[in-house]
Amino acid sequence: MGIRFVLLVNKQGQTRLAQYYEYLTLEERRALEGEIVRKCLARTEQQCSFVEHRNYKIVYRRYASLFFLVGVDNDENELAILEFIHLLVETMDRHFGNVCELDIMFHLEKAHFMLEEMVMNGCVIETNKTIILTPIHLMDRAS
């Protein structure tokens, strides 16, 4: 499976984007988000960007006020996931230009579309920014 979920949380712990690649009920999501956000936000800059949680790992990265948290299986390459997060941010940055928390909040669906282009079935399937953004540009133009 690889990636289990991608979560964007601000530093107050409020969810800004959530995409799960295995179905969880609303209650389960709530509990899980609470647990891992508490775990990750308490860590210092110097500590590892990886946290083991139950039977999987969370790779996270902080950009300004936003935390990007990705839940992955144990056999996943953590550094690569860390760079995947950065790629996602770079992609958002290319599209929005100096992306910020509000961009994602106002254009939640677009952020989701980008993620949909990059990850399917829990696998990273596209890392070419141009290709990721093409459908989104085309949709912008069409509407």
Partner 1 sequence: MGSQGGWGQSKEFLDLVKSIGEARSKAEEDRIILREIDTLKRRIAEPDVPRRKMKEYLIRLVYVEMLGHDASFGYIHAVKMTHDDSLLLKRTGYLAVTLFLNEDHDLIILIVNTIQKDLRSDNYLIVCAALTAVCKLINEETIPAVLPQVVELLGHSKEAVRKKAVLALHRFYQRAPNSVSHLISNFRKRLCDNDPGVMGATLCPLFDLIKEDINSYKDLVVSFVSILKQVAERRLPKTYDYHQMPAPFIQIKLLKILALLGSGDKQASGHMYTILGDIFRKSEPSSNIGNAVLYECICCVSSIFPNPKLLEAAVEATSRFLKSDSHNLKYMGIDALGRLIKINPDIAEEHQLAVIDCLEDPDDTLKRKTFELLYKMTKSSNVEVIVDRMIDYMRSINDNHYKTEIASRCVELAEQFAPSNQWFIQTMNKVFEHAGDLVNVRVAHNLMRLIAEGFGEDDEGADSQLRSSAVDSYLCILGEPKLPSVFLQVICWVLGEYGTTDGKYSASYIIGKLCDVAEAHSTDDTVKAYTISAIMKICAFEIAVGRKVELLPECQSLIDELSASHSTDLQQRAYELQALLGLDSQAVESVMPSDASCEDIEIDKNLSFLDSFVNQSMEKGARPYIPENERSGMFNIGNFRSQYQHEASSHSLRFEAYELPKPSPPPTIPQVVLPLPTTDLVPVPEQTYPRETHHAPNLPSATDASSVDFGVKLRLEGVQRKWGRPTYSSPSASSSSSTQKTANGATHLDGRTVSSQTRDNFYDSRKQQAEVSAEKQKLAASLFGASTAKSEKRQLPTHKTPKGVPTTAEKPAVKGAISSSEPPKEKTVPSSPPPDLLDLGEPTPASTPSIDPFKQLEGLLGPTSAPSAIDHSSAAGPKTPDLMALYTDTPPAAVSSGSLNPELADIYTVNKNSHGTTNVAAMNKGQNRQDSLQKDATARQVGVTPTENNPSLFRDLLG
Q: Give residue for tokens 């790992």.
A: 57
Show the binding pattern over residues 11-50: x = contacts partner 1 (CB under 8 A), - = does not.
-xxxx-xxx---x--x--xx--x------------xxxxx
DSSP-derived secondary structure letter, 109: H
Query: Which of 6, 36, 37, 66 is close enough to bind partner 1 by CB under 8 A?
Result: 66
Residues 106-125 that bind partner 1 (CB under 8 A): 106-110, 112-113, 116, 120-121, 123-125
Query: Which of 4, 5, 10, 41 is close enough to bind partner 1 by CB under 8 A?
Result: 10
**Applying CB under 8 A, does 73 fall inside the site for partner 1?**
no
**Applying CB under 8 A, does 56 fall inside the site for partner 1?**
no
Burial of 58 (0-12, 13-18, 19+ CB in 10 A): buried
Q: CB 59 → partner 1: shortest distance, Å?
A: 9
Cα-based distances in Å from 22 to 19, 47, 88, 127:
9, 29, 20, 22
Cα-based distances in Å from 89 to 28, 43, 135:
27, 21, 18
**Applying CB under 8 A, does 87 fall inside the site for partner 1?**
yes
C-alpha dihedral (142, 94, 103, 33), degrees to nearest 10 = 110
Q: CB 104 → partner 1: shortest distance, Å?
A: 9
